[in-house]
Amino acid sequence: MRKTRTALTVLALSAAALTGTTTGAAATDNFSTSRAAAAPCTVPDAFCATSGSGDQLVLHCGESALMPWSGVGYWDNRLPGGGIVKMVDYYGSVNHVAPADSGPTEINWSLVRALRTYC
């Protein structure tokens, strides 16, 4: 009986510790002040795609890339000479164009398969 009571106490304390950790992490994860929103592209003459967790993908003129993540994020277009970025969906259709000198703009990366810059 004593071993059972000790095991239940340890389990309850572990659950409380996990709950406290989860609650603390959630309280500090505010998307309106996320790294993505707070840190737009800082690379001159580039296009930056940013994930919701703050990972960045930087493209220069004439480059393309597959989108490495999904979910909400941001883009910021600072390509030179009026450069634009075409965002292609999983069917190969252009579903969005990032105009010259624009952003940061929120986007759902789940709808984007690839990016291609045009300068």
Give 27-65 pLDDT, tens digit per residue: 333 333 344 344 566 678 999 999 999 999 999 999 999
Which one has a higher pLDDT value, 49 or 17? 49
Give the model's pLDDT for residue 48: 95
Q: Quick check: 75 pLDDT over 80? A: yes
Give the model's pLDDT for residue 40: 61
Query: Quick one: tokens of 114?
Result: 């690839």
Query: Quick one: tokens of 111?
Result: 């709808």
How many angstroms separate the CA atoms of 114 and 66, rounded? Answer: 4
Query: Quick one: tokens of 7?
Result: 């095991």
How high is the mean pLDDT of the chain? 76
Strands 56-59, 47-51: pairing is: antiparallel
Give the model's pLDDT for residue 42: 65
pTM of the model: 0.67
